[in-house]
Structure 1
Amino acid sequence: MAINYVQLNGDHLEWMKQLMDCFGTVFEEPENYGHKRPTDAYLTERLNDPSFIALVALEGDQVVAGLVAYELKKFEQARSEVYIYDLGVYERFRRQGIATGLINALKPIAKNMGAWVIFVQADYVDEPAIKLYDSLGEKEEVLHFDIPVQWKP
């Protein structure tokens, strides 16, 4: 069956939930993507936010992979960058070009936003991701820091 790529909007709550299930499985973090799941109203608001991008790869009406990205509007020039926050493919659909297809589907969306680049981070131990991103762009060696914030939901 053919794979179709779809950018989600507020009418696609069920696919968004399937995408979250996919991420929970692929990243082995079901509690992060499944427990304390936001309300439908919250997800709809995200999906209708023009700076939030959710793309899915579908086999029929089932999500087999997807990505979530954010537009970051720059101040030093009138342009944006798009940051891929999560990209995951169910194991049985890997090595079929689906992750590349998702990134290729993201490119025209990013261009329409006025983005000049798409960027993504990868863990040193995630060799398949590093190989994918190496094939698509230039690698920068950077450090990433998480600075905790006191936040109460």
Structure 2
Amino acid sequence: MMDHRVRRLGTADIATMRALNALYAEAFGDAPTYRCDRPDDEWLARQLGKDAIIVLVAETDGRIVGGLTAYELPKLEQARSEIYLYDLAVDEAHRRRGIAIALIAELQHIATTTGAWAVFVQADYGDDPAVALYTKLGAREDVMHFDLPPRPRP
């Protein structure tokens, strides 16, 4: 088993972010979302510089083998936040080696330092490996998810 290193991306990691998006495209079978209409370097640097955007990568021998993207969401009912784990993927050749767990563990450590009270993640029905992983790490809630389109004012 090869060792991997987990680190958080920052403003100088544009090429690494692009490589992570390529990994997401492959892992999710969703090239249109992750490979088309890509943002420019300035946009990526600005987003990677925001404290509320958390991008972690796992690297082996300088190559990205996994990563996650999460967002800190400040709450208003109490002085606390939640972290939404939005994307998580591991290269197919490197799965079942603890990489996803290491990425999530680092996100949980970051959650502690930011004062977040929870990290939450969604999984699709039928994505049995993801459901099994998240069930092992936390409490399951069955919820419904709705995408509401933006609408301009009349």
TM range (shorter): over 0.9
1:51 aligns with 2:52: yes
- 1:137 — aligned with what? 138
Structure 2 distance, partners of 1:4, 1:88, is 15
- 2:9 — aligned with what? 8
Q: How many corresponding residue pairs?
A: 151
Identity %: 44
Return 5+ residue gaps in structure 1 as ranges.
none
Structure 2 distance, partners of 1:46, 1:61, is 23
1:88 aligns with 2:95: no
Structure 2 distance, partners of 1:100, 1:50, is 22
Q: Indicate the SS of the match to 1:148.
A: coil
Return 5+ residue gaps in structure 2 as ranges.
none
- 1:91 Cα deviation from its structure 2 partner: 0.6
Structure 2 distance, partners of 1:142, 1:33, is 26
Q: Indicate the SS of the match to 2:86.
A: strand
AA partner of residue 50 (structure 1): D
- 2:114 — aligned with what? 113
Q: Indicate the SS of the match to 2:145.
A: coil
Matched ranges for 1:9-48 at <5 A: 9-48=10-49
AA partner of residue 107 (structure 2): L
Structure 1-normalised TM-score?
A: 0.96
Structure 1 distance, partners of 2:7, 2:126, is 30
Structure 1 distance, partners of 2:45, 2:62, is 19
RMSD: 1.0
Structure 2 distance, partners of 1:91, 1:148, is 33
Moved over 3 A (4+): none
